[in-house]
Amino acid sequence: MPEQKDGQVIQSVALTMRIFECLAASAGEKGVSELARDLSITKARAFRHLQTLRQLGYVSHNPATKKDRIGMRLHLLAKIVGDNVELTPAVRPALETLRDQTGQTAVFAPVIDGKATIIDFMLGTTTVQYTFRPGASFNLNSTALGHIALAFGPEEFWEFIKTDEFEKETPQTNTDPAQLPARVQTARARGWTIVPEEAHMGVNAIAAPVFFHDATYAGAIAIVGSVQHVPANPSTELTDLVVAAGHQASRNLGWRES
């Protein structure tokens, strides 16, 4: 059956945009019933649209509350077209501080489609600088950004790495999935991590978590640099700066440390 049209307006597209606007205008999350009431549609219709938007990553579902919020793919789209949404402006001051304190490129990366995906960064000030395009993505098993996501993000992130063996991206990549849980547990225990040269030779990153106001995982903040400046065994001073930047970004998102 062809899509019902009202003049030149395709109703399903119009409803999708109304859902985005409704979720964006809310203080946090909305349930299906709330969304249906606010938009004057049936719960079944709201649910069908939300299911599709969740699968595409434009809406994020919280299993604990059974409610939905704006997803990371929509944040990425907003970043690419230069729109101002809550996430990037909140994290940007922490990126600037971290860049200024360390001289290294500072990045912020949530998980999109099973990958740690950079949606914002501040270019470093050292002679050799690492730059990224918005949307650059990295495996969860072989990067500091990924280990932080697995350590502090929802359990569903582990579904993205179910395999008998990980891809050998560099000679340093740990390809044994059985060793990953212990490494992630270490990252969780100390609040930061580094995964030396497993994604790219000669490049390291130190990462720490960023949280939304409700303490759910927003993404990882990190410095990225050469092994000369970001060694495999970083100083406490360096790791403390990354963790502090994560706290700063989280506080800007409304999170309060308990």
The domains of the chain, with CATH numbers, are 5-70 (1.10.10.10), 85-252 (3.30.450.40)
pLDDT at 8: 59
The segment with the largest mean pLDDT, out of 16-20, 65-69, 75-79, 192-196, is 192-196
Q: Residue 63 belongs to what H/E stretch?
A: none
- What's the confidence (pLDDT) of residue 219? 94
pLDDT at 129: 75
Q: Which of 24-38, 173-187, 223-237, 244-258 has the lowest mean pLDDT?
A: 24-38
Query: H/E element holding 229?
Result: none
2, pLDDT greater than 50: no
Does 74 have pLDDT greater than 80? no
Share of the chain above pLDDT 70, in %: 92
pLDDT at 234 exceeding the cut of 80: yes
Indicate if the pLDDT at residue 82 is higher than 60: no
The residue type found at 133 is R
The reported pLDDT for the residue numbered 80 is 59
**How do strand 137-138 and strand 203-211 relate by DSSP bridges?**
unpaired
Q: pLDDT higher for 245 or 136? A: 245
pLDDT at residue 239 tops 90: yes
> What does pTM read for this prediction?
0.70
Residue 112: predicted pLDDT: 85
Least confident of 74-78, 116-120, 203-207, 210-214: 74-78
Torsion sign (Cα): 205, 90, 27, 81:
negative
Residue 25 vs residue 226, higher pLDDT: 226
CB 171 within 8 A of CB 207: no
Pairs from 168-174 (Cβ < 8 Å, separation ≥ 24): 169/139, 169/142, 169/198, 169/199, 169/200, 170/197, 170/198, 170/199, 170/200, 170/201, 171/201, 172/196, 172/197, 172/198, 172/201, 173/142, 173/198, 173/199, 174/141, 174/142, 174/198
**Interatomic CA distance for residues 119 and 148, integer angstroms:** 16
Mean pLDDT of 20-46: 85
Tokens of 241: 């700066």
Residue type, 218: A
Judged against a pLDDT cut of 70, whether residue 193 lies above it is answered with yes
Distance of CA 220 to the CA centre of its chain: 6
pLDDT band, very low/low/confident/very high, at 1 (cuts 50, 70, 90): very low
The predicted model gives 56-63 an average pLDDT of 86
